[in-house]
């Protein structure tokens, strides 16, 4: 039996309170839906955290007990306090996994980790999306076929200003003609980061079984394995006797 992966599902949790179209789909918040399908897996336990919790729900104790943090934000990125972002950043470098959904491309933590503006094109008319698998051997697409199709979503298009990822897992196609790199893996320090484009708040995207499959796979990828190494400056004595 693999070790239990401890996930903290972080949500800005504002649209669900104020936007009728979002409240109807996610009455208890997107994070509740995400945590529920993750917790149904025998090797995953998930807890909730939200922007308006004390310290945004990301105290030192919570971060220390988190193997993978998932992040959804949109309208209130600027309200996330910089010292919390710095702590999350340090935890990622120390080996915590981070999964950023959809509009979290503009979150402080994602932009800090990738070091780019993360700007993109967008259009909200409810068009179809096909996410094509372009790295079929990767564990994040275990159990997924040639593509994942979402009937209605917001479009994101290139140019997406991010560094070339360590692994590109999905490329999305939209009927309006745009394409988008929609599943990106980055290694930062000892940690793993996955950006996954789906997750617009007014469509039931986190209830889609294939999207859930990808997220479960991504939690396992980001939360398992890896070295016990921590990135530290050091000035060591030689391990072996140096040649004369
Ligand atoms: Zn959106």
CA–centroid distance, 95 to ligand 1, in Å, is 29
Segment 197-209 mean pLDDT = 98
pLDDT of residue 16: 96
CA–centroid distance, 128 to ligand 1, in Å, is 14
Do 71 and 101 touch, CB atoms closer than 8 A? yes
pLDDT of residue 225: 80
CA–centroid distance, 102 to ligand 1, in Å, is 7
CA–centroid distance, 101 to ligand 1, in Å, is 10
Do 22 and 202 touch, CB atoms closer than 8 A? yes
CA–centroid distance, 72 to ligand 1, in Å, is 10
CA–centroid distance, 156 to ligand 1, in Å, is 9
For residues 29-38, b (16+ Cβ closer than 10 Å) or e, as one string? bbbbbbbebb
Note if the pTM is more than 0.75: yes
Residue 226 confidence class, pLDDT cut points 50, 70, 90: confident
Could you tell me the domains of the chain?
A: 5-115+183-223 (3.40.50.880)
List residues bridging with 131 in a β-sheet: 148, 172
């Amino acid at each position: 039996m693999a070790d239990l992966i401890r996930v903290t599902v972080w949500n800005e949790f504002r649209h669900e309170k104020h936007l009728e179209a979002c409240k109807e789909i996610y009455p208890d918040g997107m994070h509740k839906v995400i945590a529920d399908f993750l917790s149904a897996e025998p090797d995953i336990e998930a807890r909730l955290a939200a922007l308006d919790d004390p310290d945004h729900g990301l105290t030192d104790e919570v971060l220390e007990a988190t193997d993978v943090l998932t992040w959804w934000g949109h309208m209130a990125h600027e309200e996330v306090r910089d010292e919390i972002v710095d702590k999350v950043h340090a935890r990622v470098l120390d080996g915590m996994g981070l999964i950023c959904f959809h509009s979290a491309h503009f979150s402080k933590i994602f932009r800090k980790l990738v070091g780019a503006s993360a700007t993109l094109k967008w259009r909200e008319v409810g068009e179809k999306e096909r996410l094509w698998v372009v790295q079929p051997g990767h564990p994040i697409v275990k159990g997924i076929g040639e593509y994942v199709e979402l009937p209605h979503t917001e479009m994101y298009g290139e140019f997406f200003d991010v560094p070339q990822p360590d692994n590109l897992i999905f490329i999305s196609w939209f009927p309006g003609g745009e394409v988008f790199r929609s599943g990106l893996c980055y290694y930062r320090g000892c940690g793993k980061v996955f950006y996954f484009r789906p997750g617009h708040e007014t469509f039931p995207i986190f209830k889609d079984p294939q999207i859930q499959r990808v997220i479960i796979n991504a939690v396992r990828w980001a939360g398992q394995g890896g070295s016990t190494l921590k990135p530290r400056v050091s000035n060591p004595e030689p391990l072996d006797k140096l040649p004369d």
